[in-house]
Structures are given as C-alpha cells and as structure tokens.
Amino acid sequence: MYVEFSHRSELLHETVQTITDLELQVRDLAMGPETPLRFTCSVSGCAADRFASVAGEDPSVAELKQLDCRKLRRLYWIKAIPGTADQHAYESAIDSGAVYLQSRRTDDRWVTSMNFPDQDSFQEFQCRIDEAGLTIEPTLVRAGQYRLSGGVTNLTEKQEAVLTAAIDRGYFQIPRDGSLDQVATDLGISRQAASERLRRAMGSLARAAVNSGSE
C-alpha cells in the first residue's frame, strides 16, 4: 500500500523558517542502532546558495556535507542530532514493515511517501505515532499499489490516468498513432482538460528527472 502523509518536522525546522523559498527533497533516510538519522537532501530555489550556512547552524543538524553542486540543485548529506521525534517516527515505520521513499517540503509542512505491506501495518504505524504524541495527516492512500519511484513525480491520480490513456492510445509513439481527442474520449473529459492534465503530468515528470540528477 502506497501512502503519502503531511506532517511537521524537527529536522531543518529553523532552516526552512529562515529561508522560506527553498525547495527541499529528502531521500535515502537511514539510521543504525547507535547512529541517528542520516539522509540526503536535494536543495533548489533562488536561495539555495544560503542553505549550507544556515543549515550548518540548525540545532537539528549534527553534521552536513555537500555532495555536489549543479546548476539546478545542490545535494547534501546530513546527519541529524539523536533522539528527535522524526527518528522515533522512522523507527515506528520500520517496525510496522514500512519502506521509506521520500519527503518533500511543501508550503509550511512536509509530505512523506512510504510503502506499507497492508492496511493493518499502516494502522499500527498510526497508533504508535499517536502514542508518541506525533501527528500525521494522510493525503493520499492507494491500496494495492507499491511504488518503487517514491512518488518523486508527484503525479495526481488524474494525471496518471491521462498518461496511461495516452500510452495505451500510442500518443507518444513515433509516428503518433493516437490523438488527444481519443485520449479525452477514453477518459470522458474535454479535449482541453486532457491537454492540460497531460501538460501538467509531463511537467511533473520533467521536474522529477531534473531533480534526480540530470542537467
């Protein structure tokens, strides 16, 4: 089962309060029996060049290393201080059988994506989170799905549907077999709506490709 939920976080809290227009994406979250959370953080936005200096003074950060610096984003390895609420949440997720995929900063909250074996394991995670006094708000729950991509494309269900219909119709083939009108008819929507959803979906895919390391 694929789940996305929004939440607040101690990690990088002062950094995102100080630099409000950062675009952050966290992946590769890990920890050991005697080691606090470690993760890679992709940073982009107009103020990305300020991230290292501000995050280096963030009380939630124990250690920070820059991994690379590209035109469109910078990548950092970060070790958090031990004993954070986020570490407890991650431990609870692992104990429930979950697999962490990614977190991204949106507005004033974080949105985290995880895979769970089933509904019971997700409910177990929620119970442990509640007992610890933490709060999560599920924003997307898709039973029967298990994503390897980590939701990095941030596609909505409608965008996924229009992409699927376009692929099935051969819209992306060269030469093109299907038309946008056929895609719209398959989905029962107008041609304009199909065009807008397809463009938004392709935009999300393009941003995801860039953030994954492509120039």
Q: CA-to-CA distance for 26 and 6, rounded, in angstroms?
A: 14
User: Is there a contact between 96 and 114 (Cβ–Cβ < 8 Å)?
Assistant: no
Side-chain-side CA neighbours of residue 28 (13 Å): 11
106 and 83 belong to one structural domain: yes
Q: CA-to-CA distance for 82 and 114, rounded, in angstroms?
A: 22
CB count within 10 Å of CB 180 equals 17
**Number of compact structural domains in the chain:** 2
119 and 51 belong to one structural domain: yes
24 and 72 belong to one structural domain: yes
Q: CA-to-CA distance for 139 and 23, rounded, in angstroms?
A: 20
- Does residue 74 lie in a domain region? yes
- Residue 40 structure tokens: 């890679």
Q: Reply yes or no on whether the pLDDT at 33 is more than 80.
A: no
Residue 176: partners with Cβ closer than 8 Å, 6 or more residues away: 170
Tens-digit pLDDT profile for residues 124-147: 999 999 988 889 999 888 888 787
User: Is there a contact between 179 and 169 (Cβ–Cβ < 8 Å)?
Assistant: yes
Using DSSP, state whether 111 is helix, strand or coil.
Answer: strand
195 lies in which domain range?
157-211
- Residue 41 structure tokens: 């953080």
Tens-digit pLDDT profile for residues 46-56: 788 899 999 99
33 and 138 belong to one structural domain: yes
pTM of the model: 0.72
Q: In the predicted model, what is the mean pLDDT of the chain? A: 87
